[in-house]
Chains A and B, each alone.
Chain A
Amino acid sequence: MMRIAAGIVAAVLALAGVADAGEKQLGRVAVPAVKIEKGGACVAPTGEMRRNHMKMLLHQRDRTMRQGLREPRFSLKGCVDCHASRETGSVLGKDGFCSSCHEYAAVSIDCFECHSPNPQKRTAARP
């Protein structure tokens, strides 16, 4: 009897897991699934990126705009180039790298009102 009950519980849990594939459970709160397209090192450790990416972008934006410093490290273009979805080619959309978290946190994201959410097309090297 106990075995059957355990079996049923396991089956229910497995089904719940399938239904919940989009969101991970962390305690009682569902956390967004962040798809990272390109593995490997980001420009800073994940924890720091989660907390401070907006500060890095804000700082870099002024340096690029005002001083013409186009350092690749904290450039928005760099973010998009790495993190755009392979399927949609964008960081926006339902499972987009930027929008999935921002929608979850209800923080509006203004970057892509002007900036392109798609990676730039690779142009052939100039002769």
Chain B
Amino acid sequence: MNPDRRQFLGWGAAAVAGAAAVTTLAPGFRLIELAQARSPQEAASKLQRWGLLIDITKCSDCDACVTACHEENGVNSHGRSETDAQWIRKVSLRDKRTGYAQTLPLMCQHCEHPPCVDVCPTGASFKREDGIVLVDKHTCIGCRYCVMACPYGARSFVHETVSGQKADVPRGKGTVEACTLCVHRVDRGETPACVEACNKDGGKAMAFGDLNDRDSAIHKRLRTEPSSQIRADLALNTGVRYQGL
């Protein structure tokens, strides 16, 4: 190996180490984007559609996603399961003939054609440009039409006075709420709390990503592996897809 070649390799190694450390070549130019957060001045756009892919063959009896969700969003139980808000829950399925049992997390499916939005009399229930279905609690009158319209039972009504809300997640009595896909985290370029918890403490069953981005891992998996929607017959084109159902 002549000195020039050795030196060249040295530069290369230094550059790789440097890039790995900061991934910055010049201000504003990165080899790897650190996060895909929009700037706060940039509105949510139709170019993106956020979604989840949940592989329920990896989903076991744990409830890390539920705990993490309710912790992140300040959803507390009053010990009254009939009326407590549920943003996400674990559903158990069992084939009566074979006895084969499965469990899966179920939350707002962030439909492309959400029935909750269709029925809302005040326009409080709406779909954001990037596909996240939300309740604008400023205009929600608590009529609960959306609770009845949702085929997934994903929405909850807040029956009791709430205190100790998280700064990012306002919640109040008399309004309807549901999974927001952790919109405050997504806007910061992070993944939803359930996905983070599942990949840390759970069975690594949940993946989050942009369903419109051909280069995203979730798009690649949806393109190459079988997946299904719950109640696909309703043609709602859900943003949450399941595998192994």
Interface residues of A (CB under 8 A from B): 61-62, 65-72, 77, 80, 113-116, 118-121
Is the CB–CB distance between A113 and B172 below 8 Å? yes
With contact pairs A70-B40, A71-B40, A77-B167 given, residues A114 and B128 touching in the complex (Cβ less than 8 Å) = no
With contact pairs A113-B173, A114-B162, A114-B165 given, residues A67 and B187 touching in the complex (Cβ less than 8 Å) = no
- B28-64 vs A, CB cutoff 8 Å, 1 = contact: the mask equals 0000000000101111100000000000000000000
Of the candidate stretches B90-98, B134-142, B214-222, the one touching chain A is B134-142
18 contacts between A and B (CB under 8 A): A65-B136, A65-B138, A66-B126, A67-B43, A67-B129, A68-B43, A68-B183, A70-B40, A77-B168, A113-B173, A114-B137, A114-B162, A115-B170, A116-B164, A116-B165, A116-B167, A120-B167, A120-B168
Is the CB–CB distance between A116 and B170 below 8 Å? yes
Residue of B nearest to A81 (CB): B167
Cα–Cα distance between A43 and B177 once the two chains are bound (Å)? 32
Which of chain A's residues have a CB closer than 8 A to the CB of B138?
61-62, 65
Shortest CB-to-CB span from B201 to chain A, Å, is 18
Is the CB–CB distance between A66 and B136 below 8 Å? yes
With contact pairs A116-B165, A120-B167 given, residues A66 and B173 touching in the complex (Cβ less than 8 Å) = no
Task: Out of A62, A70, A71, A80, name the residue touching B167 (CB < 8 Å).
Answer: A80
Known: A69-B42, A71-B40, A80-B167. 16 other contacts (CB 8 A): A67-B129, A68-B38, A68-B43, A68-B44, A68-B187, A69-B43, A71-B41, A72-B40, A115-B170, A116-B164, A116-B166, A116-B167, A116-B170, A119-B167, A120-B168, A121-B167
Tally B residues with Cβ within 8 Å of A: 27
Most buried by B among A71, A72, A113: A113
Secondary structure of the B contact surface, majority rule: loop
Most buried by B among A114, A120, A121: A114
Interface residues of B (CB under 8 A from A): 38, 40-44, 126, 128-130, 134, 136-138, 162, 164-168, 170-173, 175, 183, 187
Which of chain A's residues have a CB closer than 8 A to the CB of B166?
116, 120
Residue of A nearest to B45 (CB): A68
Which of chain B's residues have a CB closer than 8 A to the CB of A118?
167
Residue of B nearest to A72 (CB): B40
Most buried by B among A65, A71, A72, A80: A65
Which of chain B's residues have a CB closer than 8 A to the CB of A61?
138
Cα–Cα distance between A69 and B130 once the two chains are bound (Å)? 12
Task: Out of B40, B43, B44, B172, name the residue touching A114 (CB < 8 Å).
Answer: B172
